[in-house]
Amino acid sequence: MTTQQIHTEIEHFFNTYCLAYNQQDSPSIAGMFAVPSGIAQHGQYTHFSSPDATASNMQELCQWYTEHGFLKASFKINQLFLQGAQHAIADINWHIERKQQAPWQFHTTYNLINTSQGWLILLCTAYEESFT
């Protein structure tokens, strides 16, 4: 597989991930995480040791977004660092539009693994967040 093909696959992965967020489809979001996997943010790490743990977290996250006026997410891939054909790190700039409120903008890096199911998230690290 060429570098360009890997880039294209990963861009497709994040388009699908963003669409799942825009539909607030927590089962689809959870399905894009490897087991085990985790999220690091605000100096804390949350470990997902099972599909149920991931699904529960994503359901809570979608509910939280809804309660805070979520309308639509969009993203830009700032950097993509390939580690062979099976691993990659993607730095994403997120823009979250909200109902009658200022949008949220933040960055997240994703450690990805290419599995028989396609690309999955091993770890995401949210940074430069400014939620109110």
Model confidence at 119, pLDDT cuts 50, 70, 90, reads: very high
Length of the chain: 132
Task: With cut-offs at 50, 70 and 90, classify the pLDDT of residue 1.
Answer: confident
Structural domain boundaries in the chain: 3-127
> Higher-confidence residue: 2 or 128?
2
What kind of architecture, by CATH, is found in domain 3-127? Answer: Roll (3.10)
Q: How confident is the model at residue 128 (pLDDT cuts 50, 70, 90)?
A: confident
What's residue 38's pLDDT? 96
Number of neighbours of residue 89 by Cβ within 10 angstroms? 16
- Backbone φ and ψ for 79, nearest 5 degrees, come out as -145, 145
Q: Over 80: is that where the pLDDT of 132 sits? A: no
Range list of β-strands (E), 1-132: 33-41, 44-48, 70-83, 87-98, 101-115, 118-127
Report d(CA 106, CA 54) in Å as an integer.
Answer: 21
Rounded Cα–Cα distance for residues 27 and 13 (Å): 15
The predicted pLDDT at position 78 comes to 96
100 backbone φψ class: left, alpha, beta (φ>0; ψ -120 to 50): left
Predicted pLDDT of residue 130: 59
Instruction: Round to whole Å and give the CA distance between 97 and 104.
Output: 7
pLDDT in tens, 33-87: 999 999 999 899 999 999 999 999 999 999 999 999 999 999 999 999 999 999 9
pTM of the predicted model as reported, rounded to 2 decimal places = 0.92
